[in-house]
Amino acid sequence: MTSQILPVGSPSLREVALAITDTHDPDVLRDAEALGEAIRAFRAEHGFGRAIAAPQIGIGKRMIGLALPDWPTVVLNPEVVWKSETRMTLWDDCMCFPDMLVRVERYASVSIEYLGLDGETYRKERLSPAESELIQHEIDHLNGVLSFDRAIGENPFVHRSVFETGRAAFTEQVDYVPQPL
């Protein structure tokens, strides 16, 4: 385990993460701290990053570290329990390939259930598009799925520098553009 983000192509990114059964296990707390360290280091280097799934740093557990207002710093065993009928296209970015964006389609809103580090079950209802796309992306990581697997449309991959240079044109190609936090 490391707090270094694994690059796309790392075999473990394709593995399905295991459910956490004991929230009091010292390894779970250690891994939660590693997720926080990884987010902080990545944001310091790249200037973006709102969440990280444990498999992105080589931890094969169903954990997501978050850097979002009004959310816990870590959620365990997150599960989508409702999906809107509406879908949206967006340019997805990922810590595993920080220089690329991928056009994908996701549900415009989802509701999730998850365990907190306290062992209690929580539910977040009808998430905003920003939270919804992010949670879907991170849950994909827990299931061994990358944004590249969800690529849609013609020319669905763009280098971040090209995107930033032509941001207006790329924004017109999708329904929603996540804002970095």
What domains, with CATH codes, occur in the chain? 11-171 (3.90.45.10)
Catalytic residues: 138
Q: What is the pLDDT of residue 2?
A: 58
Taking the CA of residue 107 as centre, how many other CA atoms within 13 Å lie in the half-sphere pointing to its CB?
Answer: 18
Residues of the chain with pLDDT under 70: 1-2, 179-181
| Cα–Cα nearest to 101, from 171, 38, 37, 52 | 171
Are 51 and 136 a contacting pair, CB within 8 Å? no
In the numeric block, the tokens 């250690």 are attached to 30
* pLDDT tens by residue, 103-139: 999 999 999 999 999 999 999 999 999 999 999 999 9
Q: What is the pLDDT of residue 48?
A: 87
Q: Is 136 exposed, middle or buried (0-12, 13-18, 19+ CB in 10 A)?
A: buried
Are 64 and 150 a contacting pair, CB within 8 Å? no
Are 89 and 104 a contacting pair, CB within 8 Å? yes
